[in-house]
Amino acid sequence: MLATIIPLLALAVIVTVLGSILWSMRRPKPWQPPYPLVDATPAEMERRGRELRDRLSHEPFGEARAAALWRKLASVKDGNGLILEFHRDFCGHGLIRKGGRIILCDVFDGGGATGDAIASWEKEDEFVAFFARQSDFSCSGWDERESVFHSGDSWYRNNQRLTRAAIDRFLAGRVQG
């Protein structure tokens, strides 16, 4: 009788151990972001912000790029334009065609909602003059001399702002318009 019970108990232990191992491998893991989490102090975050600021280009976008941007924005459907990111919540600055003008505004929820106009242009020459002098640095919000873009809010500065690269992608048709 013991010759039958002992092997059955051993088999039950083996099945239990294997079942526990398989269950632990297959159960859902707690979600982790695809990047390392950083527990930085406010001073460290400010230092990193200044480091990123110092890498931004001060080279103006130029008249040709600004004129091409106006023409491209004027050709899209009303309510569309240059939207940098398509995800939920804050998506950064966008240039949207609304009626007969182009507005600079905050974009939310992948373009499904826009904030109030930060600035707007009805005339091509005014738009071109304004954007020809802008740079990645001035659009980032760090430049205190550029009141349209400047922000004292460290979260808002350089957070999904207009850049030369984003404008060039839009002009090349690689960003939804």
Alpha-carbon distance of 85 to 109, in angstroms, equals: 9
Residue with tokens 């802008």: 134
Taking a C-beta distance cutoff of 8 angstroms, is the pair 108, 85 a contact?
Answer: no
Structural domain contains residue 34: no
Q: Domain of residue 148: give its range.
A: 59-171
d(CA 151, CA 157): 6
Give the chain's domain count: 1
- How distant is the alpha carbon of residue 167 from its chain centre? 14
User: 60 Cβ partners below 8 Å, 6+ apart?
Assistant: 132, 133, 134, 135
Q: What mean pLDDT do residues 135-146 have?
A: 95
Average pLDDT value for the chain:
87
Per-residue pLDDT tens for 69-83?
Answer: 999 999 999 888 888
Whole-structure pTM value: 0.73
Is residue 14 domain-resident? no
Say if 76 falls within a structural domain: yes
Q: What is the pLDDT of residue 68?
A: 97
